[in-house]
């Protein structure tokens, strides 16, 4: 059987990752990354070896640099792109055409950090490799079946008609975690995806029934530089009393809030854990953990209980002190941590007498992008 060669493309606001898969292989043939896009100095990583390079003005320039390092690009069969938001129309992967591009252009205002560079990358690849079909795989698709009580906001019908609802994000991470756990996934699970962006998702039988992110990725948990939940009156107050523009508020909510705004040091949890003796840093970490633990409690209502807590994302997978503090605040529910397993970043970190299994899952969005692109191809 000839393997299906799929290039999985994952665009961040200032990063780009290419994973080359030969399916049904169990690992990528190549992983190429570019970071610092748009900044004065970029980093390119190939095969785990990172090197500094000149500045990349945009994602198209970074893409050219990575394609030059890609083994045998002419032998690609399909390309799959992670697209953060699919809006109300796109509830499953689709092949990209002019109509899809126009629809996604219209959604750019909802996720200005991610959709424009993703579209730039898609269009650049369509010009560079025009013979290869490209698929869009949506982060929101995993949450497309949310029940109305979880997806709707208490807003007028005119707003709802304009697509104002909870969509949820980090769907590829959720899908990959569910796939990896397989029969080890319990009936009622809360997945905490903790990284630069953070969300919690209630999984009932592996399906999303509630989640913390909403119309945009700003809602929900405290994040690296994003605020998470806010009283909406704060925004109108700042506009009215301090004459802040929409652009100023949008920039601040996305780039100057969260852990960075609280600590006044950094939005990176690794940096904060190294400086935890500073009072503002310690408070930022405490608030981060408190909000995450509170989300587990709230989503347990949606599930009618909680049999499992799943940690994913850069913080969730690699920060034992954060996991410990979150679980400590859930001990009244009978949840208990195995401290040795937690310190070792083991796959199972719950105590044998814990009422809920606690897992650490190292997700691979590239694998999920490739898998969903291959599924779309098989459907025709």
Residues marked as catalytic: 139
Pairing mode of beta strands 78-83, 134-138: parallel
**Sign of the CA dihedral 331, 335, 340, 345?**
negative
Q: How far apart are CA 379 and CA 204, in angstroms?
A: 27
Each residue's pLDDT tens digit, 2-60: 889 999 999 988 899 999 999 998 899 999 999 999 988 889 998 777 888 888 999 99
Whether residue 180 has pLDDT greater than 80: yes
Q: Which fold has domain 185-360?
A: Nucleotidyltransferase; domain 5 (3.30.420)
What the block records as the tokens of 19 is 């994973």
Say how many C-beta atoms besides its own lie within 10 A of residue 157's C-beta: 7
Q: What is the mean pLDDT of the chain?
A: 95
Q: Which fold has domain 4-138?
A: Nucleotidyltransferase; domain 5 (3.30.420)
Pairing mode of beta strands 308-312, 357-360: parallel
Each residue's pLDDT tens digit, 56-96: 999 999 999 999 998 877 689 999 999 999 999 999 999 99
CA R_g for the chain: 21
119 contacts 84 by C-beta, under 8 angstroms:
no
The reply to whether 185-360 shares the fold of 4-138 is yes
Closest by CA position to 17, among listed 365, 270, 314, 267: 365
Query: What's the pLDDT at 361?
Result: 98
Query: What integer is the mean pLDDT of 204-231?
Result: 97
286 CB contacts (<8 Å, ≥6 apart)?
Answer: 325
User: Which stretch of DSSP H or E encloses residue 35?
Assistant: strand 30-35
Query: What's the pLDDT at 341?
Result: 98
Whether residue 169 has pLDDT greater than 90: yes
Looking at beta carbons, which pairs linking 15-19 to residues 24 or more positions away fall under 8 Å? 16/59, 16/62, 16/63, 16/66, 16/117, 16/121, 17/366, 18/66, 18/67, 18/70, 19/364, 19/366, 19/367, 19/369, 19/370
User: Which stretch of DSSP H or E encloses residue 17?
Assistant: strand 15-23
User: Which stretch of DSSP H or E encloses residue 157?
Assistant: helix 157-161
Alpha-carbon distance values, 204 to 174, 295, 307, 330, 364 (Å): 12, 16, 10, 20, 22
Reported as a pLDDT band with limits 50, 70 and 90, residue 242 is very high
Greatest extent of the chain over all pairs of C-alpha atoms, in Å: 67
Query: What's the pLDDT at 112?
Result: 86
What the block records as the tokens of 369 is 């992008």
**For the chain, which residues make up each domain, given as ranges?**
4-138, 185-360
140 contacts 168 by C-beta, under 8 angstroms:
yes
pTM of the model: 0.95
């Amino acid at each position: 059987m000839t393997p299906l060669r799929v290039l999985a493309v994952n665009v961040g606001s200032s990063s780009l990752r290419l994973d080359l898969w030969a399916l049904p292989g169990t690992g990528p043939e190549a992983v190429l990354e570019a970071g610092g896009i748009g900044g004065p100095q970029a980093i390119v990583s190939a095969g785990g070896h990172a090197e500094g390079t000149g500045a990349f003005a945009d994602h198209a320039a970074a893409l050219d640099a990575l394609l030059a390092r890609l083994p045998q690009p002419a032998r690609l069969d399909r390309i799959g792109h992670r697209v953060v938001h699919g809006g109300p129309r796109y509830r499953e992967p689709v092949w990209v055409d002019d109509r899809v591009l126009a629809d996604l252009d219209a959604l750019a205002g909802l996720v200005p950090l991610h959709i424009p560079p993703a579209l730039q990358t898609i269009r650049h690849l369509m010009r560079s490799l025009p013979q290869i079909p490209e698929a869009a795989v949506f982060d929101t698709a995993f949450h497309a079946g949310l029940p109305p009580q979880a997806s709707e906001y208490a807003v007028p019908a005119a707003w709802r008609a304009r697509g104002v609802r909870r969509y949820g994000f980090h769907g590829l991470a959720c899908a990959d975690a569910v796939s990896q756990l397989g029969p080890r996934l319990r009936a009622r699970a809360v997945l905490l995806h903790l990284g630069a962006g953070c969300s919690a998702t209630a999984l009932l039988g592996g399906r999303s029934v509630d989640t913390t992110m909403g119309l945009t990725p700003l809602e929900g948990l405290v994040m690296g530089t994003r605020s998470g939940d806010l009283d909406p009156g704060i925004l109108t107050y700042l506009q009215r009393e301090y004459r802040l523009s929409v652009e100023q508020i949008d920039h601040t909510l996305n780039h100057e809030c969260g852990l960075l705004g609280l600590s006044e040091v950094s939005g990176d949890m690794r940096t904060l854990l190294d400086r935890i003796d500073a009072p503002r840093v310690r408070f930022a970490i405490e608030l981060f953990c408190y909000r995450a633990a509170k989300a587990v409690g709230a989503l347990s209502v949606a599930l009618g209980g909680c049999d499992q807590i799943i940690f994913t994302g850069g913080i969730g997978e690699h920060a034992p002190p954060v996991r410990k503090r979150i679980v400590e605040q859930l001990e009244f529910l009978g949840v208990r941590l195995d401290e040795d397993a937690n310190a070792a970043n083991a796959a199972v970190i719950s105590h044998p007498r814990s009422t809920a299994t606690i897992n650490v899952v190292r997700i691979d969005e590239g694998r999920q992008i490739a898998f969903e692109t291959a599924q779309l191809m098989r459907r025709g």
